[in-house]
Structure 1
Amino acid sequence: MTESGRKLILSYYVSIDGKSVGPTNGMRGVMESIDDEAQEDEYVRQLWEAGAFLMGRASYDAMKGFWPVAEHPSAAPMNAIPKVVFSRTLDSVEEWGASSIASGDLAEEIARLKAEPGKDLFAIAGDSFQRALIAAGVVDEYRLWVLPAAAGTGTALFPEQDGPLRLR
């Protein structure tokens, strides 16, 4: 935990060359083809550790119709755990379980959520949202899931990293 209470964990799939996973760079097929039950079990176990999933509007829009009807092992925690959608344009997020909107300053909203009691917060989707979290300096821990393929194209999670990250 951080001094302010809960910590913010950024959980992110990347290719071995550090690019984001998405439908436009061919990595979606690689991600879906992983047949490592132990890795999948670990990912689902970690999802259950979350007190809330944080995401931007675009990710919420993409996932709200998928997870409620999905039969994937990740569906249970994705549907059961509250979601906080960061958006200045949405009026409601009623379509997907216990979801709420955070529309204020990103760093202030994250500080407020960290100060609340409960399990840690997981940022789970969206290149621009996750890069905004990194730029704001609010990420306490990175959990990178490295896929066994080079994307070649895609968004780098740390495009302007000027120093080493501390590994644990």
Structure 2
Amino acid sequence: MTVSERKLILSYYVSVDGKSVGAENGMRGVMESIDDDVQENEYVRQLWEAGAFLMGRASYDAMKGFWPVVEHPSAAPMNAIPKVVFSRTPVSVEEWGEASIAAGDLSEEIARLKAEPGKDLFAIAGDTFQRALIAADLVDEYRLWVLPAAAGTGTALFPKRSAPLRLRLVQSTPFPSGIVELRYARQS
């Protein structure tokens, strides 16, 4: 990453045992039951820092009908900030604000987006998409919002690797609810 490049930040809610938040493992219910205005305000503040939200097609399809009609603190940035949808199959992106499609090679598309001027890029949704970013070593910073519960089952955020992914802790912020935000940078 050059000095002028935008960073790719992966922002992700995860259980203490590293599983994604889903209805099938009960973690979505845990996340939705937590009432922590301090943490939620910080999360929304960070969303406003994004130059674009990156996501896979399935996540885009699921969110485009939700965020425009829901009353939630995250709705304003989710609706206002441009989206980049990664998909090799046709997808319509006219329904939800400013959105574009990235259909080429993942690494090349990310390099192109990083080279554009603007604020940092936030990968916010889609287990498959986020795991592909991690496997291709494209993430510059991880913002893991660790929920105070172990899932036991579900999709692991980090795919299997032949060698450890070395990260450097740059910030740790605990919240009253027990959620801890851990920020890691890729170790050079």
Q: TM-score, normalised by structure 1?
A: 0.96
Aligned length: 167
Alignment of 1:5-154 (within 5 A): 5-154=5-154
Corresponding letter in the other structure for 2:49: E
Corresponding letter in the other structure for 2:93: V
How many percent identity over aligned positions?
85
Gaps (5+ residues) in structure 2? 171-188
Instruction: Report the equivalent of 2:186.
Output: none
Instruction: Name the structure with the higher strand share.
Output: 2
The 8 Å contact of residues 57 and 90 in structure 1, kept in 2 or not, is answered as: no
Instruction: Report 1 or 2 for greater relative contact order, CA contacts < 8 Å, sequence distance ≥ 6.
Output: 1
Gaps (5+ residues) in structure 1? none
The 8 Å contact of residues 22 and 28 in structure 1, kept in 2 or not, is answered as: yes
Show CA shifts across 1:93-142 (max 9, x none). 10100011000000000000000000000000111000000111110000
List 4+ stretches of structure 1 deviating above 4 A: none
CA RMSD of aligned residues (A): 1.1
Q: TM-score, normalised by structure 2?
A: 0.86
**Structure 1 Cα separation of the partners of residues 91 and 71 of structure 2:** 29
- Deviation of 1:159 after TM superposition, in Å, equals 3.4
Quickly say closer, same or farther: Cα 1:17–1:91, change in 2 above 3 A: closer
